[in-house]
Amino acid sequence: MNKPLIFLDPFPRNEAMVYTPESAASLAKMGKVVAHWGSRAPEALVEEHLSEMTIIVGQTAMSKERLDRAPNLRAILNVKANWEPNIDYAECHARGIHVLSAAPAMAPAVAEYCLGQAIMLLRGLHRADQLFRSGAESYGIAGNLSAKSLYGADVTLLGYGNLGRALVPLLRPFGVRIMVHDPWLSDGYLSAEGLEPVSLEMAISGSDVLFLLAGVTSENEGFLDRSLLETIRKDSSVVLASRAEIVDFDAFLDLVGNGEFRAAIDIFPEEPVPADSPYRATPNALFSAHLAGGLNASYARIRETMLDDIGQILKGLPPLRMQKADPKLATKMRSR
């Protein structure tokens, strides 16, 4: 019997992320592997193997017309954490082709980042480091006049997807009140999760710590505009760890710079951020360069979940580890 063809087109992931010697050996046992690295697979390479493809690892463009010429295709595994608009999700769903994302594998590292940054902001530790280096530090309570504790804090999650579900167990030991706003989820579901559903206005204005975890869609790009951002409490700490496009980014940094609230920011509208960007001079902000999820441990989880689900699918069983695309929701996503 011919071995199923596993087509690897995972850009911007590279070999070290998804095709270690161990994962390569596992894939070779499951099928014939054709791989392309360093860019999206050329159209000629895709067309050459299209009729044989059983599994695609990556997010190769798959229109209905192309799906018509891929009769053996059973799954598309996106080893990033998003949904791109280059796949006919409804047609894949109708044909029983699994479309999966590695987002759950990235969530633990991002949740850990969120917790750490929230504590840094609340305690003012990023400022404490700068003050110490300049010889302007204060000791003990004198240096903690604006510091707050996470214990017993009012915390809001704007979005309760993979990131929120990974973050909540990390927050619970601190005895926090956890509020959530997510228009895609019912109040009953959130309450059953032990969370307090709140309005968008309450989510923005009513917390000590606000985690911005929502994905960007065709319906919510820039929905956190200046008027909403101005309602964030002056003593709040805000962690932006999902997609920069959900906020009016310039207004967000302007308010942070003016001391309206504290913020940790890991993602930007343009990456890499230009060297001369005025963003870099913003005070009261704790910046990192899209570091939240990109750990070796995250890529190890991606490889593990990818191999598990390919094995399941090739046995004719449903995938268990990666996130399944809902056609209606996936087509709305606008993530990079």
* pLDDT value at residue 2: 84
* pLDDT value at residue 216: 83
Mean pLDDT across the chain: 95
* Max intra-chain CA distance, the chain: 75
Confidence band for 10, pLDDT divided at 50, 70 and 90: very high
CB 314 within 8 A of CB 72: no
> Structure pTM?
0.93
Give the strand pairing for 98-101 and 323-324.
antiparallel
Confidence band for 222, pLDDT divided at 50, 70 and 90: confident
The architecture CATH gives domain 5-104+296-330: 3-Layer(aba) Sandwich (3.40)
Render pLDDT for 140-191 as a digit per residue (tens, 0 to 9): 999 999 999 999 999 999 999 999 999 999 999 999 999 999 999 999 999 9
Domain boundaries, the chain: 5-104+296-330, 106-287
Structural class in CATH, domain 106-287: alpha beta
* pLDDT value at residue 225: 96
Reduce the DSSP state of residue 301 to 3 states and report it. helix
Reduce the DSSP state of residue 178 to 3 states and report it. strand
Confidence band for 328, pLDDT divided at 50, 70 and 90: confident
Report the amino acid identity of residue 159: G
Render pLDDT for 248-277 as a digit per residue (tens, 0 to 9): 999 999 999 999 999 999 999 999 999 999
Segment (H or E) for 21: helix 21-30
CA dihedral of residues 66, 68, 72, 78 (deg, nearest 10): 40
Render pLDDT for 87-101 as a digit per residue (tens, 0 to 9): 999 999 999 999 999
Confidence band for 330, pLDDT divided at 50, 70 and 90: confident
* pLDDT value at residue 221: 83
Q: Bridge-partner residues for 157, per DSSP?
A: 180, 211
